[in-house]
C-alpha cells in the first residue's frame, strides 16, 4: 500500500464532505493527527497513515497513483 499525499487526503475528504474530525473518527486517529498531516507539519506514523487511507477507501475513495499526470483521487462508482 502506497503512501497518500496531503493533497490526496484533503481532496478525498472534500469529495466525501467530511470534516477533519469525521475523518479522525472513521480512521480511529486523533484529530490532531489529521490536522497536522493536512497542514504538512508532520507525517503520521505509518499505522495512522494506513488507517486514514483505509477509512477513506472504505467510504468509496479510490487513490490514483502517480502516472505521469499526477497522483489523484476519485469517488468510486456505486452500483
pLDDT digits (tens, 9 = 90+) for 26-50: 999 999 999 999 999 999 999 999 9
Does the predicted TM-score (pTM) go above 0.85?
yes
Helix (H, G, I), strand (E, B) or coil at 13: helix
Domain 6-75: give its CATH superfamily: lambda repressor-like DNA-binding domains (1.10.260.40)
Q: Which residue has the higher pLDDT, 39 or 67?
A: 39
CA dihedral 40, 52, 19, 7 (to 10 degrees): 40
Amino acid at each position: 500500500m502506497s503512501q497518500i499525499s496531503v493533497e490526496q487526503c484533503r481532496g478525498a475528504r472534500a469529495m466525501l464532505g467530511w470534516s477533519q474530525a469525521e475523518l479522525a473518527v472513521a480512521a480511529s486517529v486523533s484529530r490532531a493527527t489529521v490536522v497536522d498531516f493536512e497542514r504538512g507539519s508532520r507525517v503520521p506514523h505509518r499505522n495512522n497513515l494506513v488507517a486514514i487511507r483505509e477509512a477513506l477507501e472504505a467510504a468509496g475513495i479510490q487513490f490514483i497513483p502517480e502516472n505521469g499526470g499526477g497522483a489523484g483521487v476519485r469517488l468510486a462508482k456505486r452500483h
